[in-house]
Every structure is written in structure tokens, then in C-alpha cells.
Structure 1
């Protein structure tokens, strides 16, 4: 792509998003994905302009808790929690009330407004549902935090009951494009995940639907995924980068390059201008010293502290980064 063609692609995207105020089409996203590396900074600047236009400078902070770790029957090739792989991660029983509340209070102390309870399961059985229906109002009542849940594939009845219990957001990641999904998961389908996402929205919960870059997908498949997320219209999209886990089929995959990561952060913002775009797993090892740059290329939400099976930065480091960038911490809602 020539310098003139690159400038035209950026100008056309800017007019579509800020002038016409419409979503970019898949072919327009593919055009931006083909920009040369020396245009990534300009791509990020446009993404930051769009983020400020739609949602302002505020950043939403969230803490997550693995309330039931390991032993998952599914074969997601990136995940150390699968019982099908020879991972060093040991399965543990579900945490008790006090352990969950302690984690919630630690999350609140970081300035977070959202707390997500995560379970490594295909989907909840009745025993797990009963625990969630106890925990969600308990955490809300005790800490005042908004409570999100990630518990796998749902039925219609389960989605209704979780919504009635006060679940604010339900997390169910697509992870990757429909065309690439069978190469990383075989025990359930992309369509099953998408149907749970639709159930979440049908019952009034906000949908948190994340992506995982770096599993071997092509740029075209990443663009495909962004188009599929446009169709689902989630409230929040966590951006994860593969941090290869020992014992999993993707253990030897190379990390996504830092500059490539910034490109796809920016493209996610341009594809999904009004969502909460949340820094999630893998950012520390992928972006290293460029983490602040993502916050000026479209990111407007953070998971702070540790992730499900990997360590994150200290909340203090992230909050200092936001202070340095003059980005206030607060709760956000999507602006589709």
C-alpha cells in the first residue's frame, strides 16, 4: 500500500466513524488491516479519537476471580484449565463465601466498579447455579460492586435466572472467528457460544464477549471476527493476547508482537466504536513497556490484578498509568 493509499484509507475511516457515524464494513476493516507498520501510530491516533468521541476519557476497572479453577471438560487448546491436557494446573473446588468476598473487597479497594466471578466449566449444573444465585446478590449487597459472571454455555432458563439474580454482565468469549474456531476447540461449536451470547442479551444482561489474538489465525480471520462481533453488539470486548501455557497444544506458539498488538487494539476500537474495550490477559508479556500506548489506541477498560491462571501487574501500577495519562476511573456503559 502506497503512502497516499494509506492516508486515503485513514481519511475514509475517519469520515465513516466521525462524520457519517456508522460502523465500518468488513472490507473497510480489511483495508485498514493492510496498512504498513509505519501507519500504526496514525491508526492508533484515529482509534483514540473515536474512543474519546463515543465514551470520553474515563476508564473502567474490573477485578476477576477464578472461583472454580481447573478440571474443565472442554478442549480449548489455549487453556491450562482443560482436564484434557497435561497442564501443571491442578483442579480446585469452588471457593466459599468468605474467599469470594475477600477477593471482591480487594477488587473494590483498587477502585474497580465491576467484579467478575469465573468458573472453569462447560456450563452450570443445578448445584453451580444455586451457588451463583447465592453469591451474586451477596457480593452486590456486601460490597456495592456490579457483579459479572462467566460460567460457560447457558440454557434459556439459566440465563433468565442469572439475570433475575442481578448479574450485570455475563462473559462468554467468542475467542476467534467462526472459520478458525474448529482448529482450537472441538468439544463445542462457535455457534453454541454465539447462541449463549444472544441469550444473555435477550434476558437483559450486558454481554461481555472477548477475543484472543495469537493462536495462529490470519489477519483476514481477525477481521472476520470483528465483523461477527459487530453483529452481536456486545457491551464489552476484552482483548486477550495468547500467553502460551505449558502442557496445552498452543504451548509453543510465539507471542504476538507488541506493534502488531497495538494495530489490532486500534482496529478493534474502529470496528466497535462504542464498546468497552478492555485490556485483559497477555498484555504484560505481549506489550511490555507499550501498555500505556494501548490506552491511547482505543482501550478504555482494564482488568487489574491477576488473571485466571497467570499473574498480572499490581493494581497500583495500572492505576498509576491511568493517572499519568489523566484518565479518570469510573463505571462505563456501551454507546452503540
Structure 2
């Protein structure tokens, strides 16, 4: 691998031949070498990072499409989660300013879904801050899913933690098309992220989701103290599972959490992560998610042109995002088409 890192031009040419010439996925050796490149080293008329982003864009267009898919999320249950994920202000373990809220009602969720559809989103994800759903929560999920299906054209996705096989089947039967359960971090780094559950428990839930006919949505958060190599490790673990969608979040340090003092990634480091994930996961819907405004700042357009083909629009679970109109204007300025509603599946 040292030889690959020492020859950025040769490495990128190899990756291009594999991904675009042979339409194959990268071997681990190339993935780890890409992670360790000096992104500021000269390359052609620019730097290595520029070449990586250019290749990532061409891979995205070739393997997926030029379109960007928009999704809106709503917190069906906010706060009071018993897990100790070190990045999360919804954990009851930490002294944060996020307090437990009651479950959202059907009218509240329907209003959010209709607003998201009017703003151009094609998918609506209901997110619950829980270890996993109990029966009361399952009933709420099924009721809200039916409401959104009845009154909008939106496809419903759900994120509700660790599932049993019986729960996965009920969600699938209700028409939930996609289930989100992020691995969050590479297996080697996960013990520094959470201790109340394991990486393997998350992996087991993803297997259940796939076995019961739902699409798998799984990604992670970068900027939690992991190395670049561990980012490649996470992407390779995801590649083994081959999720339909990969949300890429950037740490937005939350007051009261163990990671509150960690500085957000610098924009060029965030762009490197985007290109790295696209090159390792060429088929996936790579969706920019929480923290993108903090990490990328004014370079969000560069991320779109560097391999991204999805955005979460509007606000996130406990943090504010840009308005959907701002994102739509950015995509218009970049001349990037938005995926039409009927083309989602």
C-alpha cells in the first residue's frame, strides 16, 4: 500500500480503470491508499483533492445518475434515549438542553410530510430517538406510516433503532420502503463512540432489514476522532453490506455531549471524506446529511460536484439546516437536476 500512496497519479489512474473502465469496485488496498493521500500535494493543474473530486463526480454520474434526490426527516420522538452515543444530544445519559418530547401525532407528521413534498422532497423519514421500538412505539410508527401514505405521494422511511425479526416484518408489511440504521463508525472506532450497545448489534439489524424486503439505509458520522484510515474502514464495511443509501453526516459538536469540544472538520477534509465514500461505494445514493453546513461551509456545491447524489433538506433532528429553497437554488446554480418523485424507486 505504501507504493500506492507514494504514487497518487498512478493510484488515481488505477482507480479510474477499475471503477470506470471495468465497472468494478475498489479493492481494500486502493481504498486505504486513497484515505492516506496528501490531498494538498500538486496534481496536474490542481491538487490531489481536486483530482479525487473529479473522479468521484464521474463515478457518480456513470454508476448512478446526474440527479440529486431530496429527503426530509422529522423527529417522531425527541430526546430521552437511554443509549450513550457520544455525539448525540438526545441521550438521557448526558446533560444537554434537549428534553424528552411526546410522540408526534398524525396531524403533526402529515403537516411536515406535506411541507416536505411541496419543497421538492421525494422521501420522508420518521426518526425516533430510542434503542429500539416497544409495542407502543411500533403502533405509532404504523399509524403515521399509514397517514403519510394515505394523504401524500411520499415514500416513507423509518429510523427506530435496533429491531427484532417480528418488528422488521411488520414494518415491511406496512409499506415502509427503507429503514435507516447507521453503523456510525468503523468497527475499530465504535467502542469510542458508544458503550451501551455494540457495532455488531447494528449490523444484525441491517441484516434483518434486508431479509424482510426493505431497502437498507446506513452510513455514519465523520469527524468523531477517527483516522482517515478508519473512515475508509467504515466505507468498506458498508460496501460489504451494499446499502441502497448512505447518509454521510459530519460531527456538529453538541453542548453537553462528550464530543462537545471537538472541532468540526475543515472543509477540504470533509470534501476528501465525500470523495472517499463515493469511490468506495460507487452504486449508493450518497446523501449529505447532518453537519454539512458546519463542515463544508461555502463548499457544499463542491461536495455535490464531488460525488454526492442526495441531500437531506430542511432541519435535522436537533439542529438547524438551510431552507429547502436555498438548497434548490444551489442545485439550480450548479445545473444539477432534482430527481422526480415518480423516479424514486
Give the TM-score taking structure 1 as reference length. Answer: 0.97
Partner of 2:30: 28
SS in 2 for 1:116: strand
Is 1:113 aligned to 2:115, yes or no? no
Partner Cα separation in structure 2 for residue 245 and residue 36 of structure 1: 30
Is 1:234 aligned to 2:236, yes or no? no
Partner Cα separation in structure 1 for residue 336 and residue 277 of structure 2: 20
Partner Cα separation in structure 1 for residue 54 and residue 220 of structure 2: 22
Partner of 1:221: 230
Partner of 2:187: 178
SS in 2 for 1:288: helix
Q: 245-254 vs 17-26, which deviates more?
A: 17-26
Partner Cα separation in structure 2 for residue 77 and residue 61 of structure 1: 28
Partner Cα separation in structure 2 for residue 140 and residue 301 of structure 1: 22
Partner Cα separation in structure 2 for residue 103 and residue 202 of structure 1: 30
SS in 2 for 1:149: strand
Is 1:269 aligned to 2:271, yes or no? no
Partner of 2:140: 131
Cα 1:27–1:126 shift into 2, 3 Å: same
Partner of 2:75: 66
Partner of 1:297: 306
Partner Cα separation in structure 2 for residue 295 and residue 50 of structure 1: 13
Partner of 1:7: 9
Partner of 2:44: none
User: Is residue 276–residue 333 contact of structure 1 (8 Å, CA) maintained in 2?
Assistant: no
Partner of 1:209: 218
1:140 shift after superposition: 1.3
Aligned positions of 1:28-67 closer than 5 A: 28-37=30-39, 38-67=47-76
RMSD value, Cα: 1.4
User: Is residue 266–residue 295 contact of structure 2 (8 Å, CA) maintained in 1?
Assistant: yes
Partner Cα separation in structure 2 for residue 83 and residue 34 of structure 1: 37
1:21 shift after superposition: 1.2
Q: What are the Cα deviations for residues 208-234 of structure 1, in whole angstroms up to 9, with x where unaligned? A: 102100111111111111110011110
Cα 1:78–1:16 shift into 2, 3 Å: same
SS in 2 for 1:101: helix
Partner Cα separation in structure 1 for residue 290 and residue 284 of structure 2: 18
1:35 shift after superposition: 2.0
Cα 1:41–1:130 shift into 2, 3 Å: same
User: Is residue 235–residue 333 contact of structure 1 (8 Å, CA) maintained in 2?
Assistant: no
Is 1:260 aligned to 2:269, yes or no? yes
Q: What are the Cα deviations for residues 20-43 of structure 1, in whole angstroms up to 9, with x where unaligned? A: 111111110111122222200100
Partner of 1:100: 109
Cα 1:316–1:333 shift into 2, 3 Å: closer
SS in 2 for 1:148: strand
**Runs of at least 5 residues in structure 2 that lack an aligned partner in the other structure:** 40-46
User: Is residue 4–residue 30 contact of structure 2 (8 Å, CA) maintained in 1?
Assistant: no
Partner Cα separation in structure 2 for residue 124 and residue 26 of structure 1: 36
Partner of 1:190: 199
SS in 2 for 1:182: helix
User: Is residue 35–residue 231 contact of structure 2 (8 Å, CA) maintained in 1?
Assistant: no
**Runs of at least 5 residues in structure 1 that lack an aligned partner in the other structure:** none
SS in 2 for 1:141: helix
Is 1:86 aligned to 2:88, yes or no? no
Give the TM-score taking structure 2 as reference length. Answer: 0.95
Superposed structure 1 runs of 4+ greater than 3 Å apart: 1-4, 331-334
